[in-house]
Amino acid sequence: MRIASVRAIPLLVTLDEPQRTGVATYTRLATTLVEVRGDDGTVGYGECLARYSPRIWAAIVDDLLAPLVVGADPFDTERLWTVMFRDLRSFSGHSRGMLVEGIAGVDIALWDLKARALGLPLYALLGGATRTELAAYGSSVMVRERKQMEADAAALVERGFRAIKVKIGVGVAEDVGNIRAIRRVIGDDVDLMLDANGAYRAAEAIDLARRVEGERIAWLEEPVVADDLDGYARIRAATSIPLAAGEAEFTRFGVRDLLARRILDVLQPDVARSGGVSETLKIVALAASHHVAYAPHVGFSAAVCVAATLHLAAAAPTFLTYECIYTANPLREALARVPVGGPAQLRDGRIPVPAGPGLGIDLDPEVLARHRITDW
Ligand SMILES: [Mg+2]
């Protein structure tokens, strides 16, 4: 088989209700999908992490990456990843950022295409399923009035989640109050993670961590911005709460530096950002060599990223827990004809891994058309 075409599909939706983290308020969600078509008619889909202006990523895919892979054998994923990465680095001088997210979209589509061509679920090509059901946590109780956050947390436990994550970062005192209130509401048997999205300076994060150490926090995620590795080191030395990060990293090279500092307990690469399936496999292996668990990031991504994440999680021996997003996002909830990886799929606190060929999802063309940016 040869690759006949590579095509970007930029998508955008307006949310009915804004969603607020400690550092940003989202009124619209975007993503860019990648469709790779083989000359035998087999089609694979990938996704680039594209939070805004998804046409930027579409241009990267259509203008820069497609010419590098059209005509090639789609089974050459390792070679094609290297061709894309080296070419972009050589011509543009960039080896991080949107270019790597573009590569991620193409790479995921190639893996989907390969697995579909073989009639196998993607995890079978990744070494087989270590597990077919994933431990999962409800993500995330967004920043709202405290009473509403308490109600949101209680609702997640009611739905069957045995672990939940809460957005923090609005101020240490208010966060501490929110965390204590939510711990009271959910009881002692539910795991509680905190995500600051890099809102704090190290001293503030240390203050917060010390004040909530008695609340049995499973991890503190991105307490400071990703670039502040010294800040992570200070926080780690000052608290017994495990630290999590990695959603802001792009390739094995960034992750290598993060791991070398011995500041993390949990690594959270996002397959749609960190170079796709090919690169995430390397990142997870690198983390394993440092005894750091793999807890994939999904965030506001769409159904293609979710499905690829489920397969990687199924295959990875060091997988810890899956980020099951429950907040509204039509790009995640409605894009696949049969939804995967959402709270509606939760059984006994676990999420099943799709078993169909490729990513195990079929995209709904009507939903694609509805959200597609048409002046592209
Ligand atoms: Mg996060």
Model pTM score: 0.97
Determine the Cα–Cα distance for residues 256 and 305; give it in Å rounded to an integer: 23
Is residue 94 among the annotated active site residues?
A: no
Active-site annotation holder among 94, 290, 297, 311:
297
Q: What is the pLDDT of residues 76-130, one digit of tens each?
A: 999 999 999 999 999 888 999 999 999 999 999 999 999 999 999 999 999 999 9
Edge-to-edge order in the sheet of strand 3-20: 3-20, 25-38, 43-48
CATH architecture of 3-119+365-371: 2-Layer Sandwich (3.30)
Determine the Cα–Cα distance for residues 124 and 129; give it in Å rounded to an integer: 7
Mind giving me the DSSP string for 302-347?
A: -HHHHHHHHHHHHH-TTB--EEEE-S--HHHHTSBSS--SSGGG-B
Q: Residue 195 Cα, ligand 1 centroid: separation in angstroms? A: 6
For 203-230, b/e burial (b = at least 16 CB within 10 A) is: ebbbbbbebbeebebbbbbbbbbeebbe
What pLDDT, on a 0 to 100 scale, did the predictor assign at position 22? 86
Token couple for 164 = 């939940």
Q: Residue 301 Cα, ligand 1 centroid: separation in angstroms? A: 12
Q: Residue 56 Cα, ligand 1 centroid: separation in angstroms? A: 23
Q: Residue 219 Cα, ligand 1 centroid: separation in angstroms? A: 11
Average pLDDT, the chain: 96
Q: What is the pLDDT of residues 296-318, one digit of tens each?
A: 999 999 999 999 999 999 999 99
Cα torsion 112, 118, 119, 124: sign: negative
What pLDDT, on a 0 to 100 scale, did the predictor assign at position 375? 66
Q: Residue 194 Cα, ligand 1 centroid: separation in angstroms? A: 9
CATH code of the domain occupying 125-352 = 3.20.20.120
- Which segments in the chain show pLDDT lower than 50? none
**Structural domain spans, the chain:** 3-119+365-371, 125-352
